[in-house]
A and B are shown apart, each in its own frame.
Chain A
């Protein structure tokens, strides 16, 4: 006999966020649904006033029960952003990936974001923290229709529980970020694929060596008009980094008077102290930043110093967008 109860259409770990347009110009959080182990929390949207007018910014916290994923957990989140929505995605602490009993039992996270023209996403989460003997696979796909959608995403990972001596001692960690150009007409085109593959099987080289003994590394992707200025700022600051192997033959002590130069010198000194290495470059119309450091704190401090010094994220998305970098 057929069950009298309609079967549930929601699957474990499935989530949907849809920021839709309430005519004429108000973005509203139309859909917010989620299933265990995923949990989504949306505080009230904030209104930001800039010279260009007032903007409503929605915020959603991505949470998981227990602060992470146990082996076999999968999260599958779909986000749709209508024009002219601005969404801030945040986490509450690092995403822990717990030990797996067998290599084949994977913890996974999949995110697909569909942008409409003019929509924007700012996603600056805490890092993923894979524990010893864990397996994690992540794919994040961003479908943008054209040049006026904006995306800022930071994807980063730490070496594990340092207090327990864990140093990149997971079985496997892979994280793939793709940006696709999906025009209304015509074929989709891959604009960017940043795929990190760390697998301890098959080869003798320990994972720590492949990361040059850094404790954390990651990628920052900046796309579209709302992050253009920030992208230029990163590229410009990268060009201004002190040359490696340069010697100062000038024995007169330089006195810096410009406050921007003083701040830059202070930041660069802190970078050296934290063992922070980074590069920034224009890649196929967007800006890509790669970074690594000894500790998570060093990256948080560096990223927030850079972003605040430039200022456009706080202007366009509010201070809350930087919550995970505190």
Chain B
């Protein structure tokens, strides 16, 4: 599989083993118009800026690598595990919920996870190519979706976290696990960069430059390398400051984002 996106620079390095169907799915899932509501979250950027006044000259240079690193160490093991074995979806969701200690981060993760489940049910399910050999992913999504509704009154209800749902949906849609991880981190980077534009930290051209940059590709590859083989029991917070920034988003006087 090709591992050197960003997509804007892949013309000389075309995906080789990705089938057209998988490429189509990748384009679909990496589209910012995918209705997950990701634009509503800044992953702590807004709070980071409020805690660093006056802001450093290039705040995103510091913040983006920290934010992605935090996401990778907490979420990638769950994504990979769900992609490999969808039957674990419910227990992965519970354990990730137990490990997501900040309500602001939980809101962001479950809002996007539930939205993705909705997109799967309403839009993708009817069109997926059935690339799975055993249909376990489709079954797991159906069961999990029912459980989300049924367990609402329980002491520890199903939460619908983003990373494991993403893992299963990408599997069902025929996207390889490593690509699924790459797009997950890339989409998170895009959400932070887009938040930065709206928070007037940078202009739209500069933002595209960040997304197109070799640094971002290298950063994502590095994080995949570092956290891909970590078991879910070893997933954790590698950037403790993110917990403080995201948690303290609640005490900002004015907010334009939900996280």
Contacts and interface: CB of A to CB of B under 8 A. Distances in A.
Contacts of B247: 279, 281, 290
A30 interface: no
Interface string B59-100: 000100110010001000000000000000000001101110
B66 A190 contact: no
Given A189-B156, A209-B62, A198 B238 contact: yes
B66 A209 contact: yes
Interface residues of B, number: 39
Contacts of B102: 279, 281, 290
Residue from B69, B235, B240, B252 with most neighbouring chain A CB atoms (10 Å):
B240
Contacts of B129: none
A211 B66 CA distance: 10
A183 to B, nearest CB: 11
B112 to A, nearest CB: 19
Contacts of B238: 196-199, 210
Given A199-B238, A279-B243, A190 B101 contact: no
A91 B226 CA distance: 35
A292 B241 contact: yes
Contact of B253 (A194, A195, A246): A246
A217 B50 CA distance: 20
Interface string B234-253: 11111111011101101111
A238 to B, nearest CB: 7
A279 B66 contact: no
Contacts, number: 117
Interface in A110-165: none
B51 interface: yes
Interface string A246-259: 10000000000000
A78 interface: no
Contact of A281 (B94, B97, B103): B103
Interface of B: 50-51, 62, 65-66, 69, 73, 94-95, 97-99, 101-103, 155-156, 222-223, 225-226, 234-241, 243-245, 247-248, 250-254
